[in-house]
A and B are shown apart, each in its own frame.
Chain A
Amino acid sequence: MKVGVVVFPGSNCDTDALWTAGKVAGNQSFPIWHDSSDINGADMIIIPGGFSYGDYLRSGAIAQFSVVMDEVKRFAASGGKVIGICNGFQILTESGLLPGALLQNDTLRFESRWIEIETVTTRTPFTKNLAKGQILKVPIAHNEGRYHIDPIGLENLIKNDQIVFRYHGVNPNGSIHDIAGICNREGNVVGMMPHPERAGELITGSADGLPMFVG
């Protein structure tokens, strides 16, 4: 599989994503610069974490208008596999590829630690190698991770099997319904706050995130 990792000014998890989704998962991976209008035949696109455009205005607000996002939208509309992690999740909600929004943590702290998440659906290309109910140990590192959606939106997420991960045990940011990750209606676009790309090998503390990038 060919994995393209989008790089914005201020992205800082791109190297981890290139490594884990590339060599560790047995794929070919390459970066895609934010002003590129060519995704180089990627089969999977990762929008990594970081602080794109300095998180100015709102996390992910400026990145949605970059050249590459038009290509990402086209790729997603044609059924392509897209995952946004942390800041990447914020970019996907800001650009309308995923519903809802991410607000400041209710703890008022930048939350950086290991947590557990429960796999809610295995119908996405990123969770097909996991089991329903499987608990993953993955790290989080965010200030705006409190997922928010109106009551009707939440009902639709549940009804349409769009909740991908929920926090297990501890909800670190006050997100609604303990949501850690969601997908679009079709299931090909996934966004999540925790970092599976930082949990790709035991030497990092956990390898639970690796199956998400294996083809």
Chain B
Amino acid sequence: MHKVEVTVSLKPDILDPQGKTVQRALSHMSYDMVKSARVGKSIVMDIDAPSPEKALEIAREVSNKLLANPVMEVFSVRLIEGN
């Protein structure tokens, strides 16, 4: 079993009002050094695959099909642990 994390976020050129609000709140808390924030989501899956590479391949496949919408989002996959 392999644990894979998919991180989905809005494309960089798309306005992220939630991220903007987070950045503004941090600025009000005197964290002026935080110049921008983008909010995304993380999906962690246990994938029963013969190899870590195959698990990542499956994660990419389901990200393209369901987890992310390519019109507005980008995603990345990473292995958390395998055994």
Contact = CB atoms under 8 A, between A and B. Distances in A.
Interface of A: 57-58, 61, 65, 93-94, 99-101, 103-108, 148-150, 174
A99 B69 CA distance: 12
Interface residues of B, number: 11
Contacts of A107: 17
A174 B10 CA distance: 16
- Specify which of B18, B21, B67, B71 lies most central, judged by the most chain A CB atoms within 10 Å of its CB: B71
B14 A57 contact: no
Given A57-B66, A61-B66, A108-B21, A174 B71 contact: no
B69 A106 contact: no
B69 A101 contact: yes
Interface in B1-59: 10, 14-15, 17-18, 21
Interface of B: 10, 14-15, 17-18, 21, 66-67, 69, 71-72
Nearest to A148: B72
Contacts of A174: 15
Dominant secondary structure at the A interface: loop
A148 B71 contact: yes
B71 A101 contact: yes
B17 A57 contact: no
B17 A104 contact: yes
Contacts of B14: 103, 148
B72 A101 contact: yes
Given A61-B66, A103-B15, 12 more contacts: A61-B69, A93-B71, A94-B69, A99-B71, A101-B69, A101-B72, A104-B18, A108-B17, A108-B18, A108-B21, A148-B71, A150-B71
Contacts of B21: 108
B66 A105 contact: no
A149 B70 CA distance: 11
Contacts of A104: 17-18
13 contacts: A57-B66, A57-B67, A61-B66, A65-B66, A93-B71, A100-B71, A103-B14, A103-B72, A104-B17, A108-B17, A108-B18, A148-B14, A150-B71
B9 to A, nearest CB: 13
